[in-house]
Amino acid sequence: MSVIPSNLIASTYDGVVRGRAARVRGWAGELWADKPRLRRVAMIFGVAAVAAVALVVYLTGGRYVGTDDAYVHAAKLMVTTDVSGLVKSVDVTQGEHVKKGQVLFQLDPRPFQIAVDNAKAALDQSVLDVKAMEATYQGLLSQVTAQQAQVRLAQTTYDRDLALAKANAIASLTLAQAHSALQSAQATLVSIQENARTELAKLNGNPNLPPQQAPQYMQAQAVLAEAQRQLNHATVRAPFDGDVTEVDSLQPGTLVISALSAFTTTSAVGLVSSSDIWIAANMKETDLTHVTVGDPVSITVDTYPGHTWHGHIDAVSQASDSAFSALPSENASSNWVKVVQRIPVRIKLDLKPGDPPLRAGMSTVVTIDTHHRRWYRLLFGH
């Protein structure tokens, strides 16, 4: 068996390669010389390349959905009070950061203090009234005992006069007087016993009733508690940490009327939370197919273009914005036009130290990572 020299194999391979390279150069030269043919080839391969790139982008896309119809929201309210009075002092300034429980403004406490003092006096008086009723009841019991003795005496006198009258020893007028005295004593006893029962009923059936268990005491105690509550509410405090706003509309000397506090800004101080902040994004219903609670979200704020916040889906509303409209769309005519609805999505921010401050109403752009790509859905159907 003969052996082929290695140098012969190498030279043969080089010749094949050079031949193919020559044919490619020749074909390229002919193609370059034939301009119409070159344009057709370039068009075909160009369209194919663009289509291939577009197909790859499409199949690998669809993971992220987003919207720029999203804004910063924060817990906010107009802090006021449920009692009426004159504003004595405003203890905060515009834009000041306050802690929960810090005083915002105070009403003149004097009318409320007077009401508390009156309620305390009424409470003390109720104790005295209960003790007086107990003493009255005991006095009536003594009167009942004394009157029972009078009844027995009148009964004895009548019985004696009756026996004497049968023996014609006394005049009939004397017997009648004795009988009248007996009836009067009996009636007086019944009256005193009724009064005693009435006093005992006032004591709830307990002649030794503790004053704290008496209805009068409980009523006076409730009045005192209400007066104290109003005195406490004359000092308005921050219900949570936040920044104060709308302070200039409230000035010392302003009359705060509790019934109108909800309809005017001159009886309240605005407070915007510095910690309870979230993003409200109005997503297209067609973008929510694979959005679930907990999906990660990236947020950029127009005010800070170089900074990105991170968060996650906290809740997806069960109704679109238009469902809560005062006049919802109920089109039944043939000229109805379908419009893609917007569904509110609440995004909870994962705030970190050093993040720029966010203010309610700022415009944002949110991007939600659904973890779903189109090729996966085409292959597995979900």
SS3 349: strand
Instruction: Give the separation between CA 382 and CA 372, rounded to whole angstroms.
Output: 8
pLDDT tens, position by position, 219-265: 999 999 999 999 999 999 999 999 998 888 888 988 888 877 767 77
**Is residue 274 domain-shared with residue 177, that is, in the same domain?**
no
**Is residue 43 domain-shared with residue 153, that is, in the same domain?**
no
Identify whether the C-beta of residue 217 lies closer than 8 Å to the C-beta of residue 134.
Answer: no
* Domain that includes residue 28, residue range: 6-53
- The last residue of a domain, from among 194, 210, 226: 210
User: Residue 278 pairs with which residues in a beta bridge?
Assistant: 73, 348
Q: Does 163 score more than 50 pLDDT?
A: yes
pLDDT greater at residue 339 or residue 190? 190
Q: How many domains does the chain have?
A: 3
Alpha helices in the chain (DSSP H): 6-33, 35-60, 110-166, 172-202, 215-233, 374-380
pLDDT tens, position by position, 53-82: 766 665 555 578 889 999 999 998 889 898
Which residues have a Cβ under 8 Å from the Cβ of 173 and sit 6 or more positions away?
none
pLDDT band with cut points at 50, 70 and 90 for residue 381: low
**Is residue 122 domain-shared with residue 21, that is, in the same domain?**
no
pLDDT band with cut points at 50, 70 and 90 for residue 319: confident
Give me the percent of the chain exceeding a pLDDT of 70.
80
**Is residue 71 domain-shared with residue 116, that is, in the same domain?**
no
Instruction: Give the separation between CA 139 and CA 147, rounded to whole angstroms.
Output: 12
**Is residue 19 domain-shared with residue 85, that is, in the same domain?**
no
**Is residue 204 domain-shared with residue 241, that is, in the same domain?**
no
Report pLDDT for 60. Answer: 54
Position 86 in a domain: yes
Angle CA(345)–CA(349)–CA(354) in degrees, nearest 5? Answer: 155
**Is residue 165 domain-shared with residue 271, that is, in the same domain?**
no
In this structure, the number of other CB atoms found within 10 A of the CB of residue 299 comes to 23
Strand pairing category for 103-107 and 235-237: antiparallel
**Is residue 195 domain-shared with residue 299, that is, in the same domain?**
no
**Is residue 28 domain-shared with residue 90, that is, in the same domain?**
no
Position 217 in a domain: no
Report pLDDT for 281. Answer: 93
Report pLDDT for 256. Answer: 87
Q: Which of 3-17, 28-42, 106-120, 297-311 has the lowest mean pLDDT?
A: 3-17
**Is residue 142 domain-shared with residue 34, that is, in the same domain?**
no
**Both tokens assigned to 83:** 């009692």
Position 222 in a domain: no
